[in-house]
Amino acid sequence: MLTLLFYSPYSKIQEEGLRTYFFTFAAHYDTLVLADLSKMFELPVSTVYSTVAKMIMNEELHASLDQHSATVILHRTGPGEQTRLEYLSNAYADKITGFIENNEKLLEARSQMLGLQQGYRSNEKSEGGRIGGGDSSGRVSNVGGSRSTNTRGGSSRGGSSRSGGGRSGRGRNA
């Protein structure tokens, strides 16, 4: 009897179903018989054998083929072992992380070059470049709410409305 040498779309779908079956249920089996897989997916035993062999060669499936008993012996991966898919997904995640970090560095450098990060610089200029703030004459604002000296003579408690919210010498009527 003549067997057809070409693949129909139906047989390709059946092969992909076999591959998906292994990806999904391989962790639940120790061995699988090739004849049972052949009946389950309506494929010739030779096609099942070649599909499983390709998956083993491409490290998609941790298994070995026993030709004598026509079975697929599935190997369990330990908690420290990664499958090829896990390895590739981790490598992909690492590359994406590096890509994001490089983009953030470029964005920061470009924004500094264009002068878009002026929030820090404008605060520095408005506070006179000192940690405690103040204006160009050297007068320092009352940061802690304690006693401050008013330039009009006398003293007032911090937070009084005459001294402009605690700033010395910068009242509303200055």
Asked if residue 48 and residue 30 are part of one domain, the reply reads: yes
The gap between the terminal CA atoms of the chain, to the nearest Å, is 110
Q: Which two tokens stand for residue 146?
A: 């304690």
Query: What three-state secondary structure class fits 140?
Result: coil
Lookup result for tokens 């779908």: 13
> Residue 34: which CATH number?
1.10.10.10
Residue 113: its pLDDT value, please? 84
CA distance 123 to 172: 22
Same domain, 56 and 93: no
| Domain end residue (candidates: 35, 54, 74) | 74
Quote the domain boundaries for residue 59.
9-74
57 and 101 together in one domain: no
Residue 142 lies in a domain: no
Asked whether residue 158 is assigned to any structural domain, the reply reads: no
In tens digits, what is the pLDDT along the chain, a chain of 174 residues? 445 555 578 888 999 999 999 988 888 889 999 999 999 999 999 999 999 999 999 988 889 999 999 999 998 766 666 777 788 899 999 999 999 999 999 999 888 888 776 555 555 555 555 555 555 555 555 555 545 445 555 544 444 444 444 444 444 454
Give me the number of domains the chain comprises.
Answer: 2
Count of C-beta atoms within a 10 Å radius of residue 38: 18
Which residues does residue 155 pair with via DSSP β-bridges, in sequence order? 149
pLDDT at 48: 95
SS3 of 33-47: EHHHHHHHHCCCHHH
